[in-house]
Amino acid sequence: LKHSSYLPTRERLLSPRYSAGAFAGPRQAEAMGSFLGQLARTVYGVTLAINMLWTTALMNIVNLIPMGAKWRQGVCLVLTQLGWRIALLFAPWVKCQGDDDYVEQWSLVLSLMADYQADAAREGKPPRPLFILGNHASFFDTVLAVAKFPVQVVWRVRTYMSNHLFKLPILSTICKSVGHFPVHFTSGESGKFKVDAEKMEGVEKTVDAHLKAGGWLSFFPEGQMNKEPEKILPFRYGGMKKALEFDAALVMLVFRGNPEVWPLKAQVGGFPGKVRYSLRTVAMDGAKAFVEMARSEANPEERDMPDHEILARRAQELMQAQYDALGDERQSGISSLQGRMKNSAKKD
């Protein structure tokens, strides 16, 4: 008791000195954090691989069953979604939080699309397709989008994928089984987007047939993974031209924080992190009406622009605003928490 002043009192235990990492130096704390991050990544990677193995095994069985291509692809897409949802379920350190109105937004979109389909059936016309546009900063974008889509969306949606992905083990089975569309680039060099026009002509005919049959399309209009995700890249024009050609309804599913979970150059993700995401409608009355409304504003910079450039420019601006809003909400949440802590301290 002579040296009782050196004993850890309650006040000392609650002080920053005795907080997590206080008994270890900066290097030890950093090493421990790195170890835990790699452990989390390993667990996620193994879980993801196991789920992809059993889903592809079932896909091989499904492909042997005599059924229409649309049904076969839809079943394989739902299997993929189930596998990726299970992988996320076993990675609770990956916090994925949607906007409060995420479910309501999808309910609104699906209700409007059902009305469009009913109108098209009465008029004997092809239904208006839905295009889902997303920002692209990580491989986790695809995994999380598929996991968070409503099942009825997964069933109908297809996307473009680089042709080299159709040659990778396991992933190639998924790509082919679900009916995604290969993009044939003339060069494998990063940042080079010139495509093989002859090969892509056949692919685009398949895409058109999918859309005319009532299918939907989801893609990343930036055209590449963004190394600086805070600033949305200019949209490539190909998807915008397709949206105008089919007068597609447009929505945006935007993520913030995915590179924290699955860094750009990492082979496998699963690091601890928090992701926020939101869904916003952009042009539910069709891409053509959206451009017409934009032209009515008489922006001098857009006066001589073709429709697809105006659509690309305005849609990029909206995606940037949506991305920024996710950051603002995160910051406002932190500020609110700090405010409550200060008020609690004053009361004490």
Contacts 24+ apart (CB under 8 A), 114-118: 116/249, 117/214
Instruction: Kindly report, residue by residue over 55-110, the tens digit of the pLDDT.
Output: 999 999 999 999 999 999 999 999 999 999 999 999 999 999 999 999 999 999 99
Per-residue pLDDT at 343: 46
HSE at residue 44, side-chain half, CA atoms within 13 A, is: 25
Distance (Å, whole) CA 34 – CA 19: 19
CB-based contact 83:262 (threshold 8 Å): no
Predicted pLDDT at 51: 96
pLDDT, tens digit, for every residue of 283-302?
Answer: 999 999 999 999 999 889 99
Region 277-283: what's the mean pLDDT?
97
Contact 290, 314 (CB under 8 A): yes
Dump pLDDT digits (tens) for 154-171.
Answer: 999 999 998 888 888 888
Report pTM: 0.83
Q: What is the pLDDT of residue 331?
A: 47
Query: Whose CA is closest to 287, among 243, 235, 319?
Result: 243
| Side chain identity at residue 2, one-letter code | K
Which pair of structure tokens corresponds to residue 80?
């993929």
Among 44-53, 106-115, 138-147, 191-200, the least confident range: 191-200
Phi (first) and psi of residue 148, to 5 degrees: -100, -10
| C-beta separation of 178 from 80 below 8 A | yes
Model confidence pLDDT, tens digit, residues 117-138: 999 999 999 899 999 999 999 9
Note the pLDDT tens digit of each residue in 221-275: 999 899 999 999 999 999 999 999 999 999 999 999 999 999 988 889 999 999 9
Query: 22-35 pLDDT, tens per residue?
Result: 445 556 655 656 88
> Would you say 180 and 133 are in contact if contact means Cβ atoms under 8 Å apart?
no
Residue 27 to residue 84: CA distance in whole angstroms = 35
- List, for residues 173-220, the tens digit of each pLDDT value: 999 999 999 998 886 565 566 788 889 999 999 999 999 999 999 999
Residue 331 CA from chain centroid, whole number: 21
CB 87 within 8 A of CB 56: no
Residue with tokens 């069933």: 155
Mean pLDDT score across all residues of the chain: 86
41-to-163, 217, 266 alpha-carbon distances in Å: 27, 31, 10
pLDDT of residue 31: 62
- The pLDDT of residue 25 is 57
